[in-house]
């Protein structure tokens, strides 16, 4: 059973658009007012204002004469807005996030409707105070028998309306277990290299959009701030940015898993265990020369998708520490070269002479470092196999499929060496730890 959100575009009628715009405005106003109160309390006497107190304030604000328009919209999104503010403060106090910002009109908004604020009838969504159902473009089907529990309407900067329906999916999506394991190296020259030698470039169509974006941004910079032409130009920029985001996301989904099996690479479908490096993308984009290239790679989203899809489809995702010297280590003898500048794509090991492609060797090493925590060794495999520990990587399993573990145990542990031998024949490079002498 998984909680999943399904996002759809919709095109509101003029009345709906009017009501939704007013709702977004009210949610923003309440959020900003509550944030102002909390900020003031903190600066004046280091006081903290709780969610309950802001909720009581909302009741009193609604009674004020100059704020009586607050009662014209559904009260649930206003309440939810205060809850989101509470979450923002919890995240701030625990050090996970920065201090909450005021919401701005130009960023659109996303009012959230819980069960009491909408009706689900004959597969249609009726929001509170709306007579007609939302004209949703059902680009795919909701899981059969599922009923939305929460609905979020979103108006983006580019002026698009979308709605995401949170449903409880009771289906068992787990795929048939497989034996294949793969290590992934994320890079810029090739976006993704797998330990079985496949590599995938950045999607080229983004370059065209980047040119368009640059022109639009230049044109925006020439407009007078606040003028109508400024607003039009800003919308144009936002639309191109949305398109770039769409293509990135589309490509990432096709690499990880989509229902259509003709996609270029389907990591989740093809592999039982996937090992990735745990990258700090936020820190990496601080390098201005590489920021765009890194953003285009969508690494964070790729790992996020692998994470939740692994859980849905009964696969295993393992993340290894980010400072692991993956491309500098020889997979045959374990020798680690001291320096390996980014422009060197391939190298020969000075110790044993084997030839290595930088990206492929990285993915092989990543796989070797991640494997000790995966299925077989979890049952006490021999210490020689705990290669990852001797490689010095910190390893963290994510979304381990218990059923597969048990199966792996019953079926394969007994003849582990034979299994390893078979894998070796199929892909000589894929199982690095077998060919490495014990030091």
> Which positions lie near Zn ion, rule CB under 5 A?
330, 332-333, 335, 349, 351-352
Shortest Cβ 333–Zn ion spacing (Å): 3
Cβ distance to Zn ion smaller for residue 318 or 330: 330
Shortest Cβ 334–Zn ion spacing (Å): 7
Cβ distance to Zn ion smaller for residue 237 or 362: 362
**Of 112, 196, 277, 431, which one is the catalytic site residue?**
277
Q: In whole angstroms, how far apart are CA 170 and each of 119, 140, 142?
A: 21, 17, 12
Shortest Cβ 349–Zn ion spacing (Å): 3
Cβ distance to Zn ion smaller for residue 344 or 352: 352
Query: What is residue 185's DSSP assignment?
Result: E
Helices (H) and strands (E) in the chain, counts: 13, 14
The H-assigned helical ranges of 288-381 are 291-297, 299-312, 358-370
**Of 112, 296, 316, 359, which one is the catalytic site residue?**
359
433 in Cβ contact with 420 (< 8 Å): no
185 is catalytic: yes
Cβ distance to Zn ion smaller for residue 56 or 352: 352
Shortest Cβ 324–Zn ion spacing (Å): 17
Segment holding 161, helix H or strand E: strand 161-169
Between CA 155 and CA 298 the distance in angstroms is 23
Between CA 174 and CA 402 the distance in angstroms is 11
Q: DSSP string spanning 23-84?
A: HHHHHHHHHHHHHHHHHHHHHHH-----HHHHHHHHHHHHHSGGGGGGGGS-HHHHHHHHHH
277 is catalytic: yes
Cβ distance to Zn ion smaller for residue 57 or 333: 333
Residue 197 φ/ψ region, left for φ over 0, alpha for ψ in the -120 to 50 degree band, beta for the rest: left
**Of 185, 311, 316, 431, which one is the catalytic site residue?**
185
Shortest Cβ 353–Zn ion spacing (Å): 7
Where in the sequence numbering do the catalytic residues fall? 185, 277, 359
């Amino acid at each position: 059973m998984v909680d999943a959100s399904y996002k759809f575009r919709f095109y509101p009628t003029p009345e709906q658009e009017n009501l939704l715009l007013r709702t977004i405005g009210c949610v923003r106003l309440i959020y900003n007012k509550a944030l102002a109160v909390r900020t003031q309390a903190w600066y004046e006497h280091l006081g903290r204002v709780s969610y309950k107190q802001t909720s009581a304030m909302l009741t009193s604000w609604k009674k004020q004469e100059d704020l009586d328009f607050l009662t014209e919209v559904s009260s649930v999104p206003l309440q939810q807005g205060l809850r989101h503010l509470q979450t923002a403060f919890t995240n701030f106090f625990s050090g996970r996030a920065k201090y909450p910002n005021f919401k701005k009109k130009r960023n659109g908004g996303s009012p959230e409707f819980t069960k009491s604020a909408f009706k689900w009838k004959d597969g249609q969504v009726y929001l509170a105070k709306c007579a007609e159902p939302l004209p949703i473009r059902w680009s795919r089907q909701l899981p059969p028998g599922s009923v939305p529990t929460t609905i979020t309407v979103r108006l983006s900067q580019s002026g698009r309306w979308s709605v995401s329906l949170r449903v409880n999916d009771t289906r068992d999506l787990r795929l048939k277990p497989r034996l294949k394991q793969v290590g992934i190296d994320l890079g810029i020259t090739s976006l993704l290299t797998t330990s079985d030698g496949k590599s995938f470039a950045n999607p080229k169509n983004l370059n065209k959009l980047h040119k368009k974006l640059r022109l639009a941004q230049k044109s925006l910079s020439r407009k007078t701030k606040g003028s109508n032409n400024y607003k039009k130009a800003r919308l144009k920029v936002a639309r191109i940015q949305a398109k770039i985001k769409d293509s990135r996301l589309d490509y990432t989904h096709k690499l990880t898993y989509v229902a259509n099996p003709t996609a270029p690479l389907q990591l989740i479908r093809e592999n039982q265990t996937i090992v990735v490096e745990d990258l700090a993308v936020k820190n990496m984009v601080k390098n201005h020369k590489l920021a765009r290239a890194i953003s285009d790679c969508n690494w964070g989203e790729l790992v996020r998708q692998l994470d939740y899809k692994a859980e849905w489809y009964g696969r295993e995702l393992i993340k290894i520490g980010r400072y692991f010297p993956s491309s500098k280590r020889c997979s045959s003898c374990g020798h680690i070269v001291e320096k390996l500048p980014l422009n060197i794509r391939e190298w020969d090991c000075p110790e044993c002479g084997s030839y290595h492609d930088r990206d492929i060797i990285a993915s092989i090493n990543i796989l070797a470092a991640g494997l000790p925590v995966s299925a077989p060794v979890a049952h006490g495999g021999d210490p020689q196999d705990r290669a990852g520990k001797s490689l010095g990587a910190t390893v963290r399993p994510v979304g381990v499929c218990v059923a597969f573990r048990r199966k792996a145990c019953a079926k394969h542990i007994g003849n582990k060496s034979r299994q390893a031998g078979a894998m070796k024949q199929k892909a000589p490079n894929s199982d690095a730890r077998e060919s490495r002498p014990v030091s």
